[in-house]
Each structure stands twice: as C-alpha cells, then as structure tokens.
Amino acid sequence: MGTRTVRIRHRLIAFDPGMSGALTAVRTFVGMGTAVLVAYVWLEISYRIWPGTAGTSQARYGHNAMVMALAGVSGLMCAVQNAGEKRRSSCITMLFQPAPLLVGVALSVLTVPYHWLGVFGMVFAVVLGVYARRLVPVIGPRANMYGTLFFAGWFTGFLGRGAIAEDSLPGIALALWIVAAAGLVLKVTLYPWLGRGTFRRTVRTAVARGQDVLAFAADAVTGASDHHDDADRGRALVSALNDAALTVDGMTATDDAPPGSTPTASTGACSPWRSRHSTWPAPACT
C-alpha cells in the first residue's frame, strides 16, 4: 500500500472515530427508506381493500405525501435512537412511538382553519419538545425522541394545510404503527449488527491518538523533532485526541459500551492498541 493511500486511510479513520458516523448514515438510509417503502405499500393495499378512501387523484397524492413524510420521520428517529438499547426497552419505545406523532398531527389538523392559532401551537410544540428532555430520568432517552416526534407531527400537519383530513387519522395511525413494527424489526436485528465493534474501534482510535500525543511530547522534550510547525501540529494532535475521548465518553454514558469491553486498572488489563506511526513504546502488560 502506497504512502499516499496510507495517509488518506488514516485521515478517513481520524475523521470518523470508530466509523460511528458512517454507520449512523447507513442506519438512517436503511431506516427511512424502509419506513417510506412500508408506508407506500400499505397505502396502496389499503386503497384496494377500502376503495372509498382513495378520493380524487390530487387528494390521494397529498395524503400519500403526508403519510410517507410522517413515516420517514418515524424511521429516522428509530435509526438515530440509541442502537445499543436492550430488546425489551426497544419494544416499549417502538410501541408508543407513533403516539406523540399522531397527537401532533391531530392537533395541527384541528387548527388548520385558524392560521395564527396553528402558528402559536407550533411554538408550543417546540417548547414541549425541548421540555421533554426533563422526562429522561423518568422514562429514559426515549423522552427526547417522543418530544421531537410531537413537534414533527405538528409541523408536518401544519404544512399540509388540509392535505390530512380528520376522518383519515385512524388510517394514518394504523399505517404508522405498521411502520413502527418494521422499525422494531430493524432495531433488534440489523442495527445491533451494524453497531457491533464500534465501541472497541473508537477506544482503539482514542488510545492511538493518545500515544501520538505522547510521542510528539517526547520528541519536543528531547529535541528530536525537526518540524517547523510543531505548535500547530501539537494543537492538532491534542484536538484529535479530545474528539475521540469525547466520543468514547458519550458512548459509555449509554448502552453502546458493552459490559467488560473497556480495559480498567482494577482488572490489571492493558491496551494492545497503538498508532502504527508512533515511536512511543506501548505500555507493558502487568
């Protein structure tokens, strides 16, 4: 492998420690795509089961667009929600996921004839969505998702301006619960598989960056460094280490860190990971 290729590879790894960003993008793409597809298929099936609900082609188009937009939001929130959530907790989260979305849609539909009331209601939805964070100690991180879904439902219904009729809300509720069931399947099967090893890769990146900082400091003290931009290089190395450390800290605050995956001093374990370009010796195992 050429030097240029190695540098590009290391820059990509440094840009996204543990590939967490890339995996989140994959989850988002798959989650939203699946949700929109499931919603579309269900809408087509429902029109054949209940022909009277189809309406005119223009009304049908607007209704489909709104339902698929709501399904996309549902799939997005399912994808970005904590991927390491336990199966029982995932079931509870997805069971109630459509509820705040539907409440927001229903309230916004009721205020369609009153524009200014809908505007003030949307402000209220924003405040309530932010305030939902205070419920995290009570119902867990899903409180953030529920607050965001309430605002998304109100916002979508408000922008629809009559595309969603009041008598279509039960059908939309059924479609969103079907989408939530599809999201639950992805959440307990595909998403954990995509996130497997992410924490260990992120820790490996953080340890390697820390050893790069130590190597730079040793070279600076001994005068072995011949770089003219040592100050900028040192700041860049420390900034990269801080980014990786913050990522690891954020993952340990959730269920993303598997039990026993982090080496600790109490267990006498040491890290086998080091930068390939670091001249600093690896710590000895005791």
- Sequence spans of domains, the chain: 17-194, 198-286
The confidence score (pLDDT) of residue 277 equals 42
Q: Are 100 and 153 spatial neighbours (Cβ–Cβ below 8 Å)?
A: yes
Kind plus residue range of the DSSP H or E element containing 245:
helix 230-252
Handedness of CA 262, 86, 150, 135 (dihedral sign): negative
The confidence score (pLDDT) of residue 264 equals 42
The confidence score (pLDDT) of residue 285 equals 43
Question: Which residues of the chain have a pLDDT value below 50?
Answer: 259-286
CA separation for the pair 108, 121 (Å, rounded): 8
Q: How many other CB atoms sit within 10 Å of the CB of residue 129?
A: 21
- Locate 59 and state its tokens: 């009304």
Residue 145: closest CA among 208, 95, 111, 195: 95
Instruction: Quick: pLDDT tens for 210-266.
Output: 777 777 777 777 766 655 566 777 777 777 777 777 777 766 655 555 544 444 433
The secondary structure of residue 181, as a DSSP letter, is: H
